Chain A
Amino acid sequence: EAQVTQNPRYLITVTGKKLTVTCSQNMNHEYMSWYRQDPGLGLRQIYYSMNVEVTDKGDVPEGYKVSRKEKRNFPLILESPSPNQTSLYFCASSYRDLREQFFGPGTRLTVL
Protein backbone atom coordinates (compact mmCIF):
# COMPACT_ATOMS: atom_id res chain seq x y z
CA GLU A 1 0.00 0.00 0.00
CA ALA A 2 1.33 3.42 -1.00
CA GLN A 3 1.74 5.50 2.10
CA VAL A 4 3.62 8.06 4.13
CA THR A 5 4.33 6.95 7.67
CA GLN A 6 5.33 9.04 10.65
CA ASN A 7 6.60 7.99 14.03
CA PRO A 8 5.79 8.58 16.76
CA ARG A 9 2.16 9.58 16.33
CA TYR A 10 2.03 11.20 19.76
CA LEU A 11 4.86 12.52 21.87
CA ILE A 12 5.03 14.42 25.12
CA THR A 13 8.47 15.65 26.04
CA VAL A 14 10.22 18.31 28.08
CA THR A 15 12.03 21.45 27.08
CA GLY A 16 15.53 20.86 25.78
CA LYS A 17 15.34 17.10 25.26
CA LYS A 18 16.40 16.32 21.70
CA LEU A 19 13.90 14.40 19.64
CA THR A 20 13.46 13.07 16.11
CA VAL A 21 10.22 12.52 14.25
CA THR A 22 10.67 10.05 11.44
CA CYS A 23 8.96 10.18 8.07
CA SER A 24 9.10 7.46 5.46
CA GLN A 25 7.41 6.99 2.09
CA ASN A 26 7.26 3.90 -0.11
CA MET A 27 6.31 5.61 -3.40
CA ASN A 28 9.80 6.51 -4.63
CA HIS A 29 8.89 10.18 -4.38
CA GLU A 30 11.57 12.80 -4.88
CA TYR A 31 9.86 15.66 -3.03
CA MET A 32 9.27 15.55 0.71
CA SER A 33 8.21 18.25 3.11
CA TRP A 34 7.41 18.95 6.75
CA TYR A 35 4.56 21.16 7.96
CA ARG A 36 3.24 22.22 11.28
CA GLN A 37 -0.40 22.99 11.92
CA ASP A 38 -1.53 25.36 14.64
CA PRO A 39 -5.01 26.74 15.39
CA GLY A 40 -5.56 30.05 13.67
CA LEU A 41 -2.27 29.82 11.77
CA GLY A 42 -3.04 26.89 9.51
CA LEU A 43 -0.43 24.72 7.88
CA ARG A 44 3.03 26.22 7.61
CA GLN A 45 5.96 24.70 5.81
CA ILE A 46 9.06 24.00 7.90
CA TYR A 47 11.51 22.39 5.47
CA TYR A 48 11.34 20.64 2.15
CA SER A 49 13.58 18.41 0.08
CA MET A 50 13.64 18.11 -3.68
CA ASN A 51 15.78 14.96 -3.60
CA VAL A 52 18.49 13.14 -1.66
CA GLU A 53 20.92 15.58 -0.03
CA VAL A 54 18.87 18.56 -1.28
CA THR A 55 16.97 20.39 1.44
CA ASP A 56 15.78 23.96 1.90
CA LYS A 57 13.94 26.11 4.40
CA GLY A 58 10.25 26.72 4.36
CA ASP A 59 8.54 29.57 6.18
CA VAL A 60 9.17 28.47 9.77
CA PRO A 61 12.52 26.62 9.93
CA GLU A 62 13.81 28.07 13.22
CA GLY A 63 14.45 25.40 15.83
CA TYR A 64 14.27 22.50 13.36
CA LYS A 65 16.75 20.46 11.36
CA VAL A 66 16.24 17.93 8.63
CA SER A 67 18.31 15.51 6.61
CA ARG A 68 17.69 13.50 3.45
CA LYS A 69 20.27 10.75 3.24
CA GLU A 70 17.92 8.27 1.61
CA LYS A 71 15.14 8.91 -0.84
CA ARG A 72 12.44 7.31 1.31
CA ASN A 73 13.26 8.98 4.65
CA PHE A 74 13.05 12.59 5.76
CA PRO A 75 13.43 12.91 9.55
CA LEU A 76 12.62 16.10 11.44
CA ILE A 77 14.99 16.88 14.29
CA LEU A 78 14.31 19.19 17.21
CA GLU A 79 17.63 19.55 18.97
CA SER A 80 16.35 21.64 21.87
CA PRO A 81 12.55 21.65 21.82
CA SER A 82 10.68 24.54 23.37
CA PRO A 83 6.99 24.88 24.33
CA ASN A 84 6.29 27.01 21.24
CA GLN A 85 7.06 23.93 19.14
CA THR A 86 4.02 22.20 20.58
CA SER A 87 2.03 21.50 17.45
CA LEU A 88 0.64 18.95 15.01
CA TYR A 89 3.30 17.97 12.49
CA PHE A 90 2.70 16.53 9.04
CA CYS A 91 5.14 15.01 6.62
CA ALA A 92 4.21 14.92 2.94
CA SER A 93 5.70 13.55 -0.25
CA SER A 94 5.09 13.81 -3.97
CA TYR A 95 6.59 12.50 -7.17
CA ARG A 96 8.77 15.42 -8.25
CA ASP A 97 7.54 18.66 -6.71
CA LEU A 98 4.68 19.76 -4.48
CA ARG A 99 1.92 19.35 -7.02
CA GLU A 100 0.32 16.17 -5.72
CA GLN A 101 1.39 15.73 -2.15
CA PHE A 102 0.41 12.76 -0.02
CA PHE A 103 0.34 13.55 3.67
CA GLY A 104 1.29 11.31 6.53
CA PRO A 105 -1.07 10.76 9.47
CA GLY A 106 0.49 13.47 11.62
CA THR A 107 2.49 13.61 14.84
CA ARG A 108 1.06 15.47 17.80
CA LEU A 109 3.93 16.90 19.81
CA THR A 110 3.64 18.49 23.23
CA VAL A 111 6.67 20.17 24.76
CA LEU A 112 6.33 20.91 28.47
Chain B
Amino acid sequence: QKEVEQNSGPLSVPEGAIASLNCTYSDRGSQSFFWYRQYSGKSPELIMSIYSNGDKEDGRFTAQLNKASQYVSLLIRDSQPSDSATYLCAVPRGGFQKLVFGTGTRLLVSP
Protein backbone atom coordinates (compact mmCIF):
# COMPACT_ATOMS: atom_id res chain seq x y z
CA GLN B 1 0.00 0.00 0.00
CA LYS B 2 1.32 3.42 -0.92
CA GLU B 3 1.87 5.88 1.91
CA VAL B 4 -0.28 8.51 0.22
CA GLU B 5 -2.84 7.65 -2.45
CA GLN B 6 -4.85 9.83 -4.74
CA ASN B 7 -7.06 9.11 -7.71
CA SER B 8 -5.23 10.47 -10.73
CA GLY B 9 -8.42 11.68 -12.40
CA PRO B 10 -9.15 13.74 -14.31
CA LEU B 11 -12.01 14.93 -12.16
CA SER B 12 -14.29 17.02 -14.35
CA VAL B 13 -16.74 19.49 -12.81
CA PRO B 14 -18.75 22.35 -14.32
CA GLU B 15 -18.04 25.91 -13.34
CA GLY B 16 -19.75 26.83 -10.08
CA ALA B 17 -19.91 23.27 -8.78
CA ILE B 18 -18.13 21.83 -5.74
CA ALA B 19 -15.01 19.83 -6.54
CA SER B 20 -14.12 17.13 -4.03
CA LEU B 21 -10.58 15.76 -4.03
CA ASN B 22 -9.62 12.87 -1.80
CA CYS B 23 -6.41 11.49 -0.37
CA THR B 24 -5.85 8.42 1.78
CA TYR B 25 -2.77 7.71 3.85
CA SER B 26 -1.37 4.59 5.46
CA ASP B 27 0.40 5.83 8.60
CA ARG B 28 -2.11 6.07 11.43
CA GLY B 29 0.30 8.27 13.32
CA SER B 30 0.22 11.05 10.73
CA GLN B 31 -0.87 14.32 12.29
CA SER B 32 -0.49 16.91 9.56
CA PHE B 33 -1.45 17.16 5.93
CA PHE B 34 -0.84 19.56 3.10
CA TRP B 35 -2.55 20.32 -0.18
CA TYR B 36 -0.51 21.75 -3.02
CA ARG B 37 -1.78 23.00 -6.35
CA GLN B 38 0.31 22.61 -9.49
CA TYR B 39 -0.64 24.24 -12.75
CA SER B 40 0.61 22.58 -15.90
CA GLY B 41 4.26 23.44 -16.44
CA LYS B 42 4.55 25.26 -13.12
CA SER B 43 5.85 24.48 -9.67
CA PRO B 44 3.68 23.33 -6.76
CA GLU B 45 2.26 25.94 -4.40
CA LEU B 46 0.86 25.34 -0.95
CA ILE B 47 -2.86 26.10 -0.67
CA MET B 48 -3.95 24.42 2.54
CA SER B 49 -2.51 22.74 5.59
CA ILE B 50 -4.48 20.91 8.25
CA TYR B 51 -3.18 19.72 11.58
CA SER B 52 -6.22 18.45 13.46
CA ASN B 53 -9.33 16.40 12.91
CA GLY B 54 -12.28 18.16 11.37
CA ASP B 55 -12.59 20.94 8.83
CA LYS B 56 -10.46 23.93 8.00
CA GLU B 57 -11.79 26.63 5.71
CA ASP B 58 -9.89 29.23 3.72
CA GLY B 59 -11.97 31.16 1.23
CA ARG B 60 -13.42 28.74 -1.30
CA PHE B 61 -11.23 25.91 -0.03
CA THR B 62 -12.08 23.52 2.79
CA ALA B 63 -9.78 20.78 3.98
CA GLN B 64 -11.39 17.91 5.86
CA LEU B 65 -9.43 15.45 7.95
CA ASN B 66 -10.83 12.15 9.18
CA LYS B 67 -8.13 10.35 11.15
CA ALA B 68 -10.30 7.37 12.00
CA SER B 69 -10.78 6.60 8.31
CA GLN B 70 -7.32 7.87 7.34
CA TYR B 71 -8.39 10.23 4.63
CA VAL B 72 -8.11 13.92 3.98
CA SER B 73 -10.22 15.79 1.47
CA LEU B 74 -10.07 19.12 -0.27
CA LEU B 75 -13.33 20.77 -1.26
CA ILE B 76 -13.36 23.64 -3.71
CA ARG B 77 -16.62 25.56 -3.71
CA ASP B 78 -17.81 27.61 -6.68
CA SER B 79 -15.18 26.00 -8.89
CA GLN B 80 -13.68 28.24 -11.55
CA PRO B 81 -11.85 27.33 -14.77
CA SER B 82 -8.77 28.86 -13.14
CA ASP B 83 -8.92 26.05 -10.56
CA SER B 84 -8.04 23.56 -13.28
CA ALA B 85 -4.75 22.08 -12.09
CA THR B 86 -3.27 19.03 -10.43
CA TYR B 87 -3.81 18.87 -6.67
CA LEU B 88 -1.16 17.12 -4.62
CA CYS B 89 -1.70 15.72 -1.15
CA ALA B 90 1.40 15.53 1.06
CA VAL B 91 2.07 13.97 4.45
CA PRO B 92 5.14 14.63 6.62
CA ARG B 93 7.21 11.76 7.88
CA GLY B 94 9.78 11.94 10.67
CA GLY B 95 8.38 15.07 12.25
CA PHE B 96 8.47 17.95 9.80
CA GLN B 97 11.60 16.94 7.95
CA LYS B 98 10.57 14.50 5.23
CA LEU B 99 7.55 14.93 3.00
CA VAL B 100 5.73 12.24 1.03
CA PHE B 101 3.50 13.29 -1.85
CA GLY B 102 0.64 11.53 -3.51
CA THR B 103 0.72 11.36 -7.29
CA GLY B 104 -1.94 14.04 -7.56
CA THR B 105 -5.45 14.43 -8.90
CA ARG B 106 -6.01 16.41 -12.07
CA LEU B 107 -9.03 18.71 -11.84
CA LEU B 108 -10.75 20.11 -14.93
CA VAL B 109 -13.35 22.84 -14.48
CA SER B 110 -15.36 23.49 -17.61
CA PRO B 111 -17.01 26.88 -18.30
**Closest CB of chain A to B37's CB: distance in Å?**
11
Chain B residues near A45: list those with CB within 8 A.
98-100
Chain B residues near A106: list those with CB within 8 A.
43
Contact of A42 among B95, B98, B102 (CB under 8 A): B102
> Does B88 contact A43, Cβ atoms closer than 8 Å?
yes
The CA of A44 and the CA of B100, in the complex, are separated in Å by 7
Q: How large is the interface on B (under 10, 10 to 19, 20 to 34, 35 or more residues)?
A: 20 to 34
A42-B88, A43-B88, A98-B92 known; A103-B99 Cβ under 8 A: no
Chain B residues engaging chain A, CB cutoff 8 angstroms? 32, 34, 42-46, 49, 88, 90, 92, 95-104
Chain A residues engaging chain B, CB cutoff 8 angstroms? 33, 35, 40-45, 48, 50, 56, 58-59, 90, 97-101, 103-106
Apart from A40-B103, A45-B100, A59-B100, what 12 extra A-B contacts exist at CB < 8 Å?
A41-B103, A42-B101, A42-B103, A45-B99, A48-B97, A56-B97, A58-B98, A90-B44, A98-B98, A99-B96, A104-B43, A106-B43
